[in-house]
Chains A and B, each alone.
Chain A
Amino acid sequence: MSNDEPKSPPRRDFLGIAVGGSATVFAVAAGYPVARFIEPRTRPPSGPTVVGKVLEFPPGTVKSVMVDERPVLVVRAADGQFRAFSALCSHLQCVVGYAPERNQIECPCHRGVYSMDGQNIGGPPPRPLEELQVSVNEGAIIVSSVG
């Protein structure tokens, strides 16, 4: 064999590069649909939800209801006005509850405290509770998930 003959890469090297390259391309190509498949789709809010009748909420009542798969506190003040707050703590989303003995809303997980108008007044919660829209129509209480 003459020394002047151009050197070509060995066949094994070429096959190695071809197989490795194909595997990489396939992994990248397969990765995108797999990532999209496991990424859950965001569902739009279902809209206003009827959570009960006015008669079920005498003044001074606090009840927990579900709106769009989220727990919500519906508060009827002594003057008869309705307010609704997301029952998810603004700290780490534990479900908060009404503490009647202290007349405040409390998060048991990390000792967060909110006033009855949803303001964060103690503990680690950085923000007030999210307030939702409430309306009354023909005796039905309607809560909208969009505040």
Chain B
Amino acid sequence: MNAEQPRKRVREGWLSDRLGWGGISTALAKHRAPRRGFVFYLGGITLFLLLVQVLSGVLLVLYYKPDSTNAHASVERIVGEIPYGDLIRGVHVWASDFFVACLVAHLFTIVIRRSYKPPHELTWLSGLVSLVIGIGMAFTGAILPWSQKAYAQARVGSEIAHNIPLIGGWMHRLLRGGQEVTSNTLSNAYGFHVAVLPATVTLLVGLHLFFLSRKPAPVPVSEQVVDEEPGAQGEADAAKAPAAPVDDDDTIPLYPDFLYRQAVAWVGVLVAVLTLAIFADRPLGEAADPRLSSTGAQPPWYFLPFHQIIRSSPRELLGIDGAKFIVGATCFLGALVVALPFLDRKGSKLMAWAGWIVLFVLFLLATSALS
């Protein structure tokens, strides 16, 4: 009897018995996932990056001080004095950027593949709210170092929120912790960043996975007939259509095949995050001085397209304050995106093209904002 056997017995016997692992793995193996396509791994990678942020964030919380007098100094101490502090902060910051990038890429692949269409409305909605919360986590996290840049972001971000129709005033006061950007703003950002938003996104991701398990990802778009006009017969056919891929040549079992491949993707992402955290510095910048002009305060990359639109906007549009008009129009477009599965019930190819065009325009706006 070799040394491996007792371990194997524990893995397949004692622990498996107590976890009921046999039943779980059998149930997971019954679910099928697409064999090809990197896009199908984006959701899992996003979830993994969330875990990386939670773990690195828990470590950073041990040294961070959430008040305007000590916040910047505490982050300086983390990166300058605490062993591996710069690495932990680097991992947290880069994982945050990758997280938002994966969320956005996940959204666009869903639109381009038209995977939002019924019966996937709940998966779509829970994913969209998670995206908003994810961007909120990145935004509140960017405020925490209380650098000059962070201060300007808190100012502009809360003022943009002020222009949101109906709830703008409340959002503005909530984000600032009052009328002005003060230490209260930092405390509120901290509370949201470490407690409210992570708890909410965890709940939403759980719901998202639950909805996905009930209505698995649809057949890849190349195998579907989606160009016919919607009608009573078409809708009836859609209702009868299989919810998950059925051709075994195009699918693999969720467990172990898909999850093992997913784990390989996670390792790849982790290596990329670690490499950037070690070799690509993310400067902290000077401590916030509210008296100084907000020079060089560029928003994070995911707000660059919006920044460019705001910067280029006239003072008034249709008799409305320019910034207010743009924020209102953005909210309206956001509402249309939320309602996409209800407006485009068949998942027309037009929406796939619209997705590509929007992506291209956002890229152009972001690059022009950098110039």
A64-77 Cβ-contact flags toward B at 8 Å (1 or 0): 11101111000000
Q: Is the CB of B290 within 8 A of A110?
A: no
Is A43 a contact of B178 with CB atoms below 8 Å? yes
Residues on A with C-beta less than 8 A from B313 are 124
Given A91-B323, A97-B292, the answer on whether A39 and B156 have CB atoms closer than 8 Å is no
Please state if A40 and B178 are interface contacts (CB–CB under 8 Å).
yes
Q: Any chain B CB within 8 A of the CB of A53?
A: no
User: What number of A residues sit within 8 Å (CB to CB) of B?
Assistant: 32
Nearest-Cβ distance from residue B328 to partner chain A, whole angstroms? 14
A93 to B310, Cβ gap below 8 A?
no
Among A38, A93, A107, A120, which residue has the most Cβ atoms of chain B within 10 A? A93
Find out whether the CB atom of A94 lies under 8 angstroms from the CB atom of B184.
no
- Chain B residues near A69: list those with CB within 8 A: 180, 182, 290
- Known contacts A39-B173, A97-B293, A125-B315; decide if A92 and B323 are in contact (CB<8 Å): yes
Contact segment of B139-147, B249-257, B294-302:
B294-302
Q: How far is the CA of A120 from the CA of B290 in the complex (A)?
A: 22
A116 to chain B, nearest CB (A): 15
Q: Does A109 contact B (CB under 8 A)?
A: yes
Residues of A within 8 A of B177 (CB): 40
Cβ of B152: which chain A residues have Cβ within 8 Å of it? 94-95, 109
Are B160 and A39 in contact, CB atoms less than 8 angstroms apart?
no
Given contacts A40-B184, A108-B296, 6 further A-B contacts (CB under 8 A): A38-B174, A64-B292, A93-B159, A95-B291, A109-B152, A110-B311
> Chain B contacts of A95 at CB under 8 A?
152, 155, 290-294
* Contact A40 B173, beta carbon cutoff 8 Å: yes
| Dominant secondary structure of chain A at its interface with chain B | loop
Q: How many residues of B contact A (CB 8 A)?
A: 35
Contacts of B176 in A (CB 8 A): 40
Q: Name the distance in Å between A75's Cβ and chain B's nearest Cβ.
A: 14
Q: Using Cβ atoms and an 8 Å threshold, which residues of chain B touch A38?
A: 174
Q: How far is the CB of B114 from chain A (nearest CB, A)?
A: 36
Q: Is there contact, CB below 8 Å, between A94 and B156?
A: yes
| Residues A43 and B311 in contact, CB atoms below 8 Å apart | no
CB-CB nearest in chain A for B298: A109
Give residues of chain B (179-233) contacting chain A, Cβ–Cβ below 8 Å.
179-180, 182, 184
A108, B322: Cβ atoms under 8 Å?
Answer: no
- Residues on B facing A (Cβ under 8 Å): 152, 155-156, 158-160, 170, 173-174, 176-180, 182, 184, 290-297, 307, 310-316, 321-323
Q: Give the residue of A92, A97, A108 whose beta carbon is less than 8 angstroms from that of B310.
A: A92
CA distance A27 to B182 in the complex (A): 32
Query: A36 → chain B, closest Cβ, in Å?
Result: 12
Task: Judge whether A42 and B294 touch: CB under 8 Å.
Answer: no
Is A126 an interface position by the 8 A CB rule? yes
Q: Contacts A68-B180, A69-B182, A92-B159 known; A111 to B311 CB distance under 8 Å? A: yes
Rank and list the top 9 A-B pairs by shortest CB-CB distance, nearest first: A97-B293, A64-B291, A94-B294, A93-B159, A110-B311, A126-B315, A108-B295, A69-B180, A92-B159
Given contacts A92-B159, A93-B156, A97-B292, is CB(A126)–CB(B173) below 8 Å?
no
A96 within 8 A of B: yes
Q: Which residues of A contact B178 (CB under 8 A)?
A: 40-43
